[in-house]
Amino acid sequence: MQSKKVALVTGAATGIGRAAAVALAEAGFDVVINYSRSEQAARTTAEQAQAKGARRCYLNVTLAMIRASARCSKRLSRNSAGSTHW
């Protein structure tokens, strides 16, 4: 099974962010829709992305949280012993 690329689109609930998320979905990406205040608008964007064929999810996270998550993921992937060292 070939996996799709995933795009994280910040500010994707409305405007240019929404247009980008939907365009990426149409181009074959799965999309993660990040929003700050507009959960209902993010849901609408997610529905539009899904209609274009994307698997989608929507999140209310800050970029700092995303960066921290990426750092944790890198640390976990480098640890081949099965335990986590911080």
DSSP SS3 for 71: helix
Per-residue pLDDT of the chain (86 residues; tens, 9 = 90+): 567 888 889 899 999 999 999 999 999 999 988 888 888 999 999 999 999 999 888 788 777 777 777 776 666 555 545 444 33
Structure-block tokens of residue 38 = 């507009």
Domain ranges, ordered by start, for the chain: 6-77
Find, among 53, 34, 31, the residue nearest to 42 by Cα: 34
